Chain A
Amino acid sequence: MRIEILKQLNEAKRARRAAILVTDLATGEDRLALEGEALDGVSTDALNKAFLSGKSGLVEEGGKSFFLNVHVPPPRIVVIGAVHISQALAAMAPVAGFDLEIIDPRTAFATPERFAGVKLTADWPEDVLKESPLDAFTALVAVTHDPKIDDYPLVSALKTGCFYIGALGSRKTHAKRVERLKEAGCTDAQIARISAPIGLDIGASTPGEIAVAILGDIIQALRKRAIGAGA
């Protein structure tokens, strides 16, 4: 392995970008493919399949044997709102392999007692996200119902190209939200990416069930994301 390739790979990992190290096992030649980029000799299909599954393995193409070592950043979920649904989501997310953190400036909600062992910040999203910005491998879940708290992170998530963006609220609430987001400069195509009403349509009723619906929605968005479409 060439040291330059190793450095590029480590750089991609630090920047939380998905990358595949492709090694030609006959010659030892190694190359790096970033998500959405093409690579000579290896089909885009094979690369995309590996990016989506996150699984490393061998592929045979054009009579050659390549090893694809897939490096996908650990997906994380940022929840805006320290509400009942967030408590259930915080318990389930780690089981499914997601890092999770909760942001809510309302100190009555964001108490350590209600969220033992969870990364919780009782501050405004605009301040917290300045410190640790959203990225393509972050899911943004806005569940406060309060435009003053939810809108900034939603706009930020749309502009960043988070792989999942969901917002709690009835259709009526969401219609008003759409108007505000348009005023904030979001395009229709961007706004259409918001999952609202939030979560898979499984008839979820309790906070725990809604959390399941949201988590399923997030997993679907991660594993079926469009590669190469650009964020």
Chain B
Amino acid sequence: MNDIAGFDDPLLIAEGWKNEGRDVALATVIETWGSAPRPVGSHLVIDGEGNFHGSVSGGCVEGAVITEAMDVIGSGSSRMLEFGVADETAWRVGLSCGGRIRVYVEKVA
């Protein structure tokens, strides 16, 4: 459940950034397995410069999501990302908690 948040709600920030004319991508936690730090539905909002707000993992994979989000902003096509300890990339951007998450990244157009 996403509570109504105040000024730090990523969805409000996404709208604000769009209004300022920035390119914006939105990353959303779609699915989690095991112990995942952020619940399904959590958002990270990213702009074309790599500025971001919110979180999808509490810091473990945000760097990778931001990089992918910049690509999504460039190409305009959405992407599904998956992170987890079983993944090859885990050594670089894994979830230390041992969980797995699926993150959907889309451009706000």
Contacts and interface: CB of A to CB of B under 8 A. Distances in A.
Interface of A: 1-3, 6-7, 9-10, 13-14, 16, 23, 25, 28, 54-58, 67, 69-74
B25 to A, nearest CB: 9
Contact of B30 (A1, A58, A73): A58
B106 interface: yes
Interface in B9-28: 9, 11-12, 14-15, 18, 26, 28
Q: Which 10 A-B pairs have the closest CB atoms?
A: A56-B41, A54-B1, A28-B78, A74-B3, A56-B40, A69-B41, A71-B2, A13-B4, A1-B108, A1-B106
Given A25-B104, A55-B40, A6 B4 contact: no
Contact of A70 (B1, B4, B14): B1
Interface string B27-50: 010110000000111000000000
A12 to B, nearest CB: 10
Interface string B84-109: 00000000000000000000101111
B64 interface: no
Nearest to A11: B15
Given A16-B4, A55-B1, A6 B30 contact: no
A67 B31 CA distance: 9
Contacts of B39: 56
Nearest to B12: A10
Contacts of A23: 104, 106
Given A55-B1, A71-B2, 10 more contacts: A2-B108, A3-B108, A6-B15, A7-B15, A23-B104, A54-B1, A57-B31, A69-B41, A72-B2, A74-B4
Tell me whether chain A's interface is mostly helix, strand or loop, or mixed. mixed
15 contacts: A1-B26, A1-B108, A6-B18, A7-B15, A9-B11, A10-B11, A10-B15, A16-B4, A23-B106, A28-B106, A57-B40, A67-B28, A69-B2, A72-B2, A74-B4
Contacts of A55: 1, 40
Nearest to A15: B4
Nearest to A6: B15
Contacts of B18: 3, 6
A223 to B, nearest CB: 12
A6 to B, nearest CB: 5
A69 B28 contact: yes
A26 B80 CA distance: 10
Nearest to B1: A54
Contacts of A58: 30-31
Contacts of A72: 1-2
Contacts of B80: 25
A132 to B, nearest CB: 14
A54 B1 CA distance: 5
